[in-house]
Structure 1
Amino acid sequence: MQIDREAILQAKEKLGDRNAQIIVEELGITDFDEKNMKCCCPFHQEDHASFIYNKKAFNFRCFGSCGRSYDILDVFMYKGATYAEACKKLFELAEMPYSFGELGVKTKRHYRYPHEVPCTDKSKVYAYFEQRKISRETLDALDVRQDSEGNAVFNYYDTNDVLTMVKYKPSHKVQHGQAKCWCQQNSDTAPLLFNMNRINVNSPLLICEGEPDCLSAIEAGFKNAVSVPLGSSNLHWIDENLEWLDQFESIIICADNDDAGVKMQKECVPRLGSWRTKVVDIPAVPIGNTGRVTKDLNEILYVCGKDKVLELILDAKDSPVPSVADLSDVEPTEYEDVDGVTTGLKAIDDELMRLFFGTLTIVSGQPGSGKSSLLTQLACNSLDNDIGTWLFSGELPNGVEKSWFNYIFAGPRNITDAISRRGNPYKKISTTTLAEINKTYKGRWHIYRDDYDNTLDKLIASMTDTVRKYGARCLILDNFMCIDTETSEEELRSQTDTIKKLIEFAKKYQVAVILVCHPRKMDAGTNVGIYDIAGTSNIVNLAHRTIGLRRVTDAERENAAKYSEKRRQLLKYDVIVTIVKDRMFGRQNIDVGLYYDPASRRFFSDMDEYDRRFSWDKKEYKEPLPLPPQLLAEERASEDEAFGAVNDREG
């Protein structure tokens, strides 16, 4: 049964200041100042009036040491009524008709209700809980009983005052192997909250982990306390009592100070609403000379007393909204300090700095523009900087991908000309070099196996395991078209979901994710633009960065004179890399040029990058490496320009 809160407020409003008079009479207060509506607090010793009536809230609040707040319902329950009985008495005093039905009526069909445990002796229960600093009065008020074997019996009532679950605990220290608690046999166990039928829904609710903690809070003076029924890991009580819990404007969680309690607290807060939930911080106080420290509210009561228990409850900490941060607490991002993955190519790294951890980068380009080579070179650079990599290659078998890595790692110094058995020339890497490469990077480079499914869930599971087990931080998916997602009319939505999941993954694990996406059909000599990526526009819109590659054509070079000076400068390169969109620095359409060496499959812009020696290569070389054709042509063009300038001056 859920009693209308608006009706309760109307009843209080109808009583007006009689609320104060009734509370004073029920609590036996003799020093009430009717003019100033205040008196000494009846719940603790004091010599000045700190118990003050609030005419708008219709309640008294102690502004002294105990901080208690009591309205007319609290007082009726303090005198022994349940919540339903207290409301019924309020409506009678206010002369307001209200249908309660029949209190105590069983409403669950096919439910095996427990039977009441007859109780003529509570001596063992009294003695046991007296050791735990809980009084007979508190035990009697909460109807804690004793069975024939001396065990404590906790009666769980629903909000209609119906006995719905009975739980037993030994009234002695539990030995190893003994049951700590159990429920009544041959009866059902709806996960109600202990003491929920004596709770004022207009006041803050304290939820404890166990019945002794609930008893301790009530012993200390915080009456609006309940405890969970079946242990910290069983949260079915939230679903069972959700409508009842929704009535509270403030909820306080008091879990044990151990791993199970911390987990319970973390799981309860978002489900109950972090905006209204506070948490009690149980301090670790030494328990005598036992070598143990306090971990729950009952132990705090035993070691520190009632005032400390009440202080901890009243000083419960606000639970932050997990999804937001106070912007004043956020450190501004200085990109110089943000780690990430570099390509090892100065022309690109000067523009992008790094592919930052926590971001998704899209790489696109026309067929044959070198997307796979660029990303393999990026992976090689990452591995050489001790950044583990994971690669999904949807188009090339694992063995072919390994060859691309080997050629880039080997470099032009370690690649030789050879003739195949069929008489065809090819480039060869020595067995010794391959062994050194394998040994150097073993355990840090991982590739998704050819024989595994290419579904997004399977790929993300593999990425997750590789990040967590092997510490990979550079993850490359080549390419988007090879990932199995939804089809037909759901395709564009599925593409958007895929991008979102990859971004979420990058942020969660603080890794750099690079995804290859094919462009739409484009004319030769055209840079990849923001609308040229195949699929939904959200691919580019959501990604942090988008990079496009295209090859420089012979036709462009032949017609160089008709282009701008900036474009003519790029035509000497083999490939133009366009930073299509850079959300990190707020820029777009930045072009840089790169040369390409087919033998080593390396991109480069100068001799250092062409002749780069990765960390596996410990050999000493006496002879300089000959200039590649591109740099040789650039050098000759520079010389021709210089001599031409001299001749012009002489002329």
Structure 2
Amino acid sequence: MPYEFKRSDVYGLASALGAETHERGEELFFRWCPYCKGGGHDKNTFSVNLENGTFKCFRAGCGAQGHLVQLARDFGYPLEFDDGRKKKYRTLPQRPVKVTNPAVRYLESRGISRAVTERYRITTQRGHDNILVFPFYDGDGVMQFVKYRKTDFVKGRDRNKEWSEKDTMPILFGMDRCEGKDRLVITEGQIDSLSLTEAGIQNAVSVPTGAMGFTWLENVWEWINGFAEIIVFGDCEKGKITLVDALSRRLPKPVKVVRQADYLGEKDANDILRKYGTEALRQAVANARIIPVTHIKELADVAAVDLSKLPKINTGIAMLDRVIGGLYYGQVILVTGKRGEGKSTVVSQLAAEALNQGLRVLAYSGELPDYHFRRWLDMQLAGPQNVETSYNQFSDAVYRLPEDVTEQIGEWYRGRAYIYDNNAVDDEDAALLDTVEQAVCRYGINLVCIDNLMTAIDAASTDTQYLKQSHFVRQLKQLAVKHNIAVLLVAHPRKTQGDVSENDAVSGSADITNRVDTVISYVKNGEDAPAGGKLLVIKNRMTGKLALNDNAIAVGYDEKSKRVYSAAGRNNFRYGWEKESVSPLAMEDLPF
């Protein structure tokens, strides 16, 4: 995956590190070296070349040097690598947008002047004065996304209050009207960002798809990280500010947030504007503060959570979901079983289920080439009804997917399925986990699959191996909690005579099973039994339910499609790629 050097990446990394810097010629000098932490007596301890990205520490006791790519990797700063597989979006017609009087009148009723409405080219849908249209232009003034809002929406009568043009690239609203790179203020709704503009606050933008959708972040990553300061002015709901948690986790720089007190009891920026005026908005932005970092909190302030409603990924195996509840975010789920029994197949099947639920998956396969992993997953997504069978010279069945099926599946999960490139960096656990975390932040990953523990840590069979295993699993758990994702980890068992039905039977340090939340063991049926096997739940921290011995969960296996499925069910179920209609989109009506 080639990297194209950009000066902005040097400044972005310096900002993320909180470095005190100054320019001299074509060098950006740091007062402190990020590696040895030394320096400070002058301003020229460490530098990065702004023409080619090389860096160097000038302290004799350190001497660290290399390229920006290495520096960014070592300190967890995400760079944009072009892998040629970015999601394809529609190209919208770039015709002028005519601002309509109904749009002006509606926004005036919300405290937004005609001048602001015209500046942001807000209009109404042709033939529908009650449908407001917000065109989203990127920093180059190109329309990339369109959002609609029904101004007379009635809950129960109308299907949707807001929606967007299908297959358009989500970006931030108002990017084209931003000037300079000093401060960016991010709101949840478009009318809120217009309210801030009405109050004379520059560089106010809003997210395209609400507080929970972050598909836009990767599309504006370099642009947003070019700002010196980021302030979140989300909606104030039930004592919390939306957008703050996710953005503070995923952006490589401190994020400020408007204080709850400055909402003056209102929900959002537009409510504040209409009730208290423009000065209240200016004061709220001026008072924004960095979220305090602390490890201690009042127990009474901890959210009272209904465990049954926690976000999770369904496994597609009904009895397994009944026992463990699903793959909960924030958890590490260990999958074990004898060599060759089918652990990787089970994990791949769970990845297919996550993709079918509209989630994003990142896989690390230490033993399979990337093309092998993809083919295995594609076969499971295709199902037996789409797999062709032929026979080789030995009369053995050979299974393959038609090219058009592979293409449709690939386009279906494009932008949602990623795999770690084993050739990109050394297979050391630090490099792997750093890269995984960057991908989680950049692409909004929901499920990480690590297959398997031994290849991931790349450790020899010595006493230090157990320490590395324990450290690696601990870091995985921290990653899962920090970014609220689910992690599937494959580990081999110890050499045993019977089933792997005890936590102590997992090979390696006892800390491995102590640190994970759930342990599942897959046991393949004997040769005389039907294809398939059983899943044993050995540990279950969430619900406490186990599935051992006679209560093990029976599953079927289809050799043709590699699917693992509920033994009581059928294996010809269809995934989303096959259900979606692929029809040409009408372009001539825009805008709008």
TM-score tier by shorter-chain length is 0.3 to 0.5
More helix by share: 1
In the superposition, the TM-score normalised over structure 2's length comes to 0.47
Higher relative contact order (CA 8 A, sep 6+): 2
